[in-house]
Structure 1
Amino acid sequence: MNLFPPPGEIIGGREAKPHSRPYMAYLNIRREDKSVRCGGFLVSENFVLTAAHCNGEDITVLLGAHNVSRDEETQQRVSVQRKIPHPRYNSRSRENDLMLLQLVEPANLTDAVDTIPLPQAGQAVEPGYTCSVAGWGRTSLKTKTNVLHEVELEVMSNKTCQNRRHYRPMMMMCVGDPNQDKASFLGDSGGPLVCDEVAHGIVSFGKKNGSPPRVFTRVSTYIPWIETKMRGLSSPGPHVERLGPLH
C-alpha cells in the first residue's frame, strides 16, 4: 500500500496574480531521503488545513509566497508543531482525506498572508457552480513551476463520479467537467477548492492520467471535527523562522 501518493498538478490554468490568494500555503514535506510538495490553506493564525495523504516525517509551511524559489519579502516560513490527520483517514480509499497542521507560532497576518473562511457544517455547493483551485504543481506532465497557478472548475453532480470505486458523496465532491481539457490535474494535493471565497474542498485524488472529474474532500462534512480540534489544542510555542524560500 502506498501511504504517500504523489501530489496533483495544475494543468491548463494560468499564473495567479501575485499574492491574490493570501491563504495559500506551500508545504515542503520530508519523507525518508526525499522531499515532496503539497498545498494547504491557512484557516486560522495557528492552523493550516491540507490533505491527510500529504503527511510525512517533517513538514515546513511557507506562507505569503508567489514564487517559492525566490526570497520574497512577503514570505513566512513556519515550522509545524503538531500534525493532526483525521483519525479515520483511509490511505487506500482516500476517505476522510484531511489533516490539520498546528503551527509553532501564529502566522503574522499581512496583505500577503491571511486566512480563508470555511463553510458551515453540512453546507453544499450545487452542481454547475464554478469554483477555483490553485497550486504550485506541474503545468504539464513534463514542465515544473515554482510560481502559483490557478484554474476555474465546475462542480459536478455526484452521479458524474459514481463509477469511481471509492467515491463517497457525503465526504467527497466531484469537480471538473469530463468534456473539457481545461485542467487535467486540478491542483497540488491539499490545496483548497474555493467557491465564493470559501474553502469548500481539498484536492484529494483522481484518475492517474489526470482527466477530470477529480475528487475533493468535502470540507463541510468535517467542520465539527475541525473546530473541536482547533479549540482543544494548546496554544503554540514561542518560535517561528523567517528563513526565506524553500527550494
Structure 2
Amino acid sequence: MQPLLLLVALLLPPGARAGEIIGGQEARPHSRPYMAYVQIHTPVGMTICGGFLVRDFVMTAARCFRRQTVVILGAHNIRRFERTQQHISVLRAIHPRFDQQKNLNDIMLLQLANRARQNRFVRPVALPRTQARLSPGAWCTVAGWGLVSLSRRTDTLQEVQLTVQRDGECHRRFRFYNGRIEMCVGDPRERKSAFLGDSGGPLVCGRVAQGIVSYGNRQGTPPAVFTRVSSFLPWIRRTMSRFQQWGQAEIPL
C-alpha cells in the first residue's frame, strides 16, 4: 500500500491528490461502457488514472500525462482476464497548457494507436452540446478504480452519486479555484467524494460527461474540484478535427 501512495504522490503537484471513489458502491458490470482504465508506466513503477471514451479519443486529466501509457476499455475487474477488455496503446496526448502550480486546464485527449471496437461493452459517452453551466444541486455520478480508503483498494469499478456545489464552497478551500473552467462537486456534509488514485474519470450528469476528476484536499473530504468539460468545447472540437485523420505525419507520443 505505501509504495502505491508514494508513487501517486510523486506524480502530483504540491497540495493536490488524484481521485478516489469514497462512500460509493460497486457499479453493475459494464453498465458504464465509456469507462477507461489508464495505465501509466514511469521509471519507478506503474500508477493509474481514469478516463472515458469520446468518439475515437479517451479524455482524461492532463495531470495523468506520461509518455508510456496504455488504455484498457471494456473492463470491470481490472485484475482478471475479461474477454470484453481491449488494451490499446496511446499514440499521442494533447492538452491545452496544463498549469501544474494552479491545477488549471486539467484536461487531456489521448489519441489511441488503434481504433476501439465499439460494442455493448465499449461505447463513447456524450459531451455537452453547449457551454451552459450546470445548476448547483444537480445530481451526477463519478466512477473509477481508485482506492476506497487509505488502507483498501478495489479491483472492480466503483461509483458514487454527488451533487454540484456553488463555486463559493471551493473558493474558500482552494486558493486557485476557477469557476469558469472548474466545477465544485460533493456535499461537504457527506463522506462521498473523489480522492486518491482516479484522476481523469468522468462526472456524468444525465448521460453527459460534464466534468473530469481533478483534485481535492489531503483528507479526502468533499467538495473536490472537477474540470468543467463544457468550457473546453471549442478546444475539444478543434483537437478532434485536427487529429481525426489516422496515420498523420505527426510525432508519436
What's the TM-score once normalised by structure 1's chain length? 0.91
Q: Counterpart of 1:89 in 2: which secondary structure?
A: coil
User: Are residue 149 (structure 1) and residue 170 (structure 2) matched?
Assistant: no
Tell me how far apart the structure 1 counterparts of residues 163 and 40 of structure 2 sit (CA, whole Å). 30
Structure 2 unaligned blocks of 5 or more: 1-8, 248-253
Q: Counterpart of 2:230 in 1: which secondary structure?
A: helix
Tell me how far apart the structure 1 counterparts of residues 30 and 239 of structure 2 sit (CA, whole Å). 28
Corresponding pairs, count: 234
Choose which of 131, 134, 139 in structure 2 pairs with 1:122.
Answer: 131
- 1:36 is matched with 47
User: Are residue 197 (structure 1) and residue 197 (structure 2) matched?
Assistant: no
Choose which of 32, 38, 44 in structure 2 pairs with 1:27.
Answer: 38
Give yes or no for contact 1:24–1:41 (8 Å, CA) kept in 2: yes
- 1:94-115 Cα shifts (integer Å, max 9, x gaps): 1000000001111000100000
User: Are residue 90 (structure 1) and residue 99 (structure 2) matched?
Assistant: yes
Tell me how far apart the structure 1 counterparts of residues 122 and 36 of structure 2 sit (CA, whole Å). 9
Give yes or no for contact 2:20–2:193 (8 Å, CA) kept in 1: no
Structure 1 unaligned blocks of 5 or more: 238-247
- 2:251 is matched with none
- 1:147-179 Cα shifts (integer Å, max 9, x gaps): 000000010011111112010010000000001
Cα RMSD (Å): 1.5
Q: Counterpart of 1:137 in 2: which secondary structure?
A: coil
- 2:73 is matched with 63
- 1:213 is matched with 223
1:146: Cα distance to partner? 1.2
Give yes or no for contact 1:151–1:186 (8 Å, CA) kept in 2: no
Give yes or no for contact 1:3–1:91 (8 Å, CA) kept in 2: no
Tell me how far apart the structure 2 counterparts of residues 156 and 186 of structure 1 sit (CA, whole Å). 20
1:182: Cα distance to partner? 2.9
Tell me how far apart the structure 2 counterparts of residues 186 and 118 of structure 1 sit (CA, whole Å). 25
Give yes or no for contact 1:187–1:203 (8 Å, CA) kept in 2: no
More helix by share: 2
- 2:11 is matched with 4
Task: Trace 1:68-79 onto structure 2 (pairs within 5 A).
Answer: 68-79=78-89
- 1:120-145 Cα shifts (integer Å, max 9, x gaps): 23121110011000000011111011
Give yes or no for contact 1:133–1:187 (8 Å, CA) kept in 2: no
Name the amino acid aligned to 1:38: C
Tell me how far apart the structure 2 counterparts of residues 175 and 122 of structure 1 sit (CA, whole Å). 18
What is the identity percentage for the equivalent residue pairs of Structure 1 and Structure 2?
Answer: 50
Give yes or no for contact 1:123–1:220 (8 Å, CA) kept in 2: yes
What's the TM-score once normalised by structure 2's chain length? 0.89
Give yes or no for contact 2:21–2:148 (8 Å, CA) kept in 1: yes
- 1:61-91 Cα shifts (integer Å, max 9, x gaps): 00000000111010000011111122x2101
Q: Counterpart of 1:226 in 2: which secondary structure?
A: helix
Name the amino acid aligned to 1:143: R
Give yes or no for contact 2:49–2:197 (8 Å, CA) kept in 1: no
Q: Counterpart of 1:60 in 2: which secondary structure?
A: strand
1:41: Cα distance to partner? 0.3
Give yes or no for contact 1:26–1:63 (8 Å, CA) kept in 2: yes
Tell me how far apart the structure 2 counterparts of residues 186 and 3 of structure 1 sit (CA, whole Å). 13
| 1:187/1:154 CA distance change after superposition, 3 Å | farther
1:8: Cα distance to partner? 1.7
Tell me how far apart the structure 1 counterparts of residues 229 and 210 of structure 2 sit (CA, whole Å). 5
Choose which of 27, 30, 34 in structure 2 pairs with 1:16.
Answer: 27
